[in-house]
């Protein structure tokens, strides 16, 4: 069952809204064994959003946005994307037999995300310039032409994405003390905060989490307090210089008593290897920015060790393997019989 069916009464859908789903959501909340132990944390969980049907959290909001677009009679979906939104929009368009036209910054997105959009049958337009420029362009398009814009400036995207907060509270029986996630265009932090607040108001949790956002150092407009003209980071998913939901992110941070900080590309790549090699969870670079920040917060004594912490792993590591494997030992070339292999491998 997808998120619309599961959380229907908390979403802006009616009997007139078509049911759209790819069985998204219901992702695992995996309890950390080894990172928690090494940091001395009592309860640390990973919300593994890479297990959504297109490999990222975008599917939660996309199904609602596409359902509402269909309800309104739209036939064409458009978006700008650093890769995951375009993959998700393309998949749901295919599912609903709609057209998708996706705009990506030329040469800037991970190959596997591009392959998804192409395979799902979207028209992929590579635009010169960065994500911020592509978003400005599609907003202009959507203002003047009969197309449905499915970036997170579409309020239905945020509505669908808030269901991840519901799932965390449903799984833990309460809200965590800290919720850490990456911040790019800032729709997701806005959505989680809304989800936690709504569940709190409905009496489903006694507390609210502190919202902790991670940006990449070279693409940290919210941390700096001003747009970044030429964002740079290895975490291409969050290579964004002027987030559309800026205000939503700062409200989530300030109302929850949280923080938004930047981590370096080196910290991101280290966290990616640690997560994969000690927990068996492979997440894309953007997704591990909050884990890199967690290491810092614990090291500096800014996060209580008996707190319940959830780190959202927003996208699968398989989205962008090239960047990851550049930093680990390559396969070894070996040949021979079992005996000589065993010797070489010290078995």
Residues that bind ligand F0G (CB under 6 A): 56, 58, 81-85, 152, 182-188, 237-238, 284, 286-287, 314-315
Q: Closer to ligand F0G at the Cβ: 17 or 117?
A: 117
- Among the residues of 10-56, which ranges form H helices? 34-39
| Token pair 């409200």 in the structure block, residue | 251
Q: Closer to ligand F0G at the Cβ: 256 or 314?
A: 314
| Token pair 């996060």 in the structure block, residue | 303
Q: Are strands 43-48 and 99-105 parallel, antiparallel or unpaired?
A: unpaired
Count CA atoms within 13 Å of residue 166 on its CB side: 22
Count CA atoms within 13 Å of residue 14 on its CB side: 3
Q: How far apart are CA 62 and CA 56, in angstroms?
A: 11
Q: How far is the CB of 216 from ligand F0G (least distance, A)?
A: 10
Q: How far apart are CA 124 and CA 86, in angstroms?
A: 9
Q: Closer to ligand F0G at the Cβ: 17 or 291?
A: 291
Q: How far apart are CA 220 and CA 183, in angstroms?
A: 9
Supply 284's token pair. Answer: 């894309």
- 147, containing H or E segment: none
Q: How far is the CB of 82 from ligand F0G (least distance, A)?
A: 4
Q: How far is the CB of 333 from ligand F0G (least distance, A)?
A: 34
Q: How far is the CB of 191 from ligand F0G (least distance, A)?
A: 7
Q: How far is the CB of 79 from ligand F0G (least distance, A)?
A: 7
Q: Closer to ligand F0G at the Cβ: 238 or 324?
A: 238
Q: How far apart are CA 102 and CA 151, in angstroms?
A: 10
E strands, 231-284, in order: 259-263
Supply 180's token pair. Answer: 């850490």
What long-range pairs does 31-38 form, CB within 8 A, spacing at least 24?
32/279, 33/279, 34/278, 34/279, 35/274, 35/275, 35/278, 35/279, 35/291, 38/278
Q: Closer to ligand F0G at the Cβ: 122 or 286?
A: 286
Q: How far is the CB of 189 from ligand F0G (least distance, A)?
A: 6
Q: How far is the CB of 155 from ligand F0G (least distance, A)?
A: 13
Q: Closer to ligand F0G at the Cβ: 85 or 163?
A: 85
Q: What are phi and psi of 105, to 5 degrees?
A: -65, 125
Q: Closer to ligand F0G at the Cβ: 158 or 298?
A: 158
Q: Closer to ligand F0G at the Cβ: 17 or 103?
A: 103
Calculate Rg over the CA atoms of the chain.
Answer: 20
Q: Closer to ligand F0G at the Cβ: 11 or 62?
A: 62
Strand partners for 313: 48
Supply 221's token pair. Answer: 């407009």
Pick the closest to residue 284 from 109, 124, 132 (CA basis).
Answer: 109
Q: How far is the CB of 51 from ligand F0G (least distance, A)?
A: 13
Q: How far is the CB of 72 from ligand F0G (least distance, A)?
A: 22
């Amino acid at each position: 069952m997808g998120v619309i069916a599961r959380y229907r009464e908390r979403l802006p859908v009616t009997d007139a809204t078509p049911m759209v789903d790819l069985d998204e959501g219901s992702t695992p909340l995996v309890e950390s064994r080894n990172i928690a132990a090494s940091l001395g944390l009592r309860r640390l969980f990973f919300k593994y959003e890479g297990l959504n049907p297109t490999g990222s959290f975008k599917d939660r909001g996309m199904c609602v946005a596409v359902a509402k677009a269909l309800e309104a009679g739209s036939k064409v979906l458009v978006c700008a994307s650093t890769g995951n939104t375009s993959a998700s929009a393309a998949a749901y368009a295919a599912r609903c037999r709609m057209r998708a036209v996706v705009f990506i910054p030329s040469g800037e997105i991970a190959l596997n995300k591009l392959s998804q959009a192409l395979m799902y049958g979207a028209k992929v337009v590579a635009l010169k310039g960065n994500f911020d420029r592509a978003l400005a362009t599609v907003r202009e398009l959507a203002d003047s032409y009969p197309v449905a814009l499915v970036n997170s400036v579409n309020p239905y995207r945020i509505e669908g994405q808030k269901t991840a907060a519901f799932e965390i509270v449903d799984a833990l029986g309460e809200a965590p003390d800290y919720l850490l996630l990456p911040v790019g265009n800032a729709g997701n932090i806005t959505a989680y905060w809304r989800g936690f607040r709504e569940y709190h108001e409905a009496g489903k949790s006694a507390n609210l989490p502190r919202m902790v956002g991670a940006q990449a150092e070279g693409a940290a407009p919210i941390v700096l307090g001003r747009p970044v003209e030429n964002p740079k980071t290895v975490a291409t998913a969050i290579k964004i210089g002027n987030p559309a939901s800026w205000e939503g992110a700062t409200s989530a941070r300030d109302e929850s008593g949280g923080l938004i900080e930047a981590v370096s590309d080196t910290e991101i790549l280290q966290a990616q290897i640690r997560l994969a090699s000690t927990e068996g969870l492979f997440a894309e670079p953007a997704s591990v920015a909050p884990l890199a920040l967690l290491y810092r917060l614990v090291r500096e004594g800014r996060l209580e060790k008996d707190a319940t912490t959830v780190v959202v792993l927003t996208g699968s590591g398989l989205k962008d393997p090239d960047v990851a494997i550049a930093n680990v030992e390559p396969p070894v070339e070996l040949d021979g019989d079992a005996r000589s292999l065993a010797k070489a491998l010290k078995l």
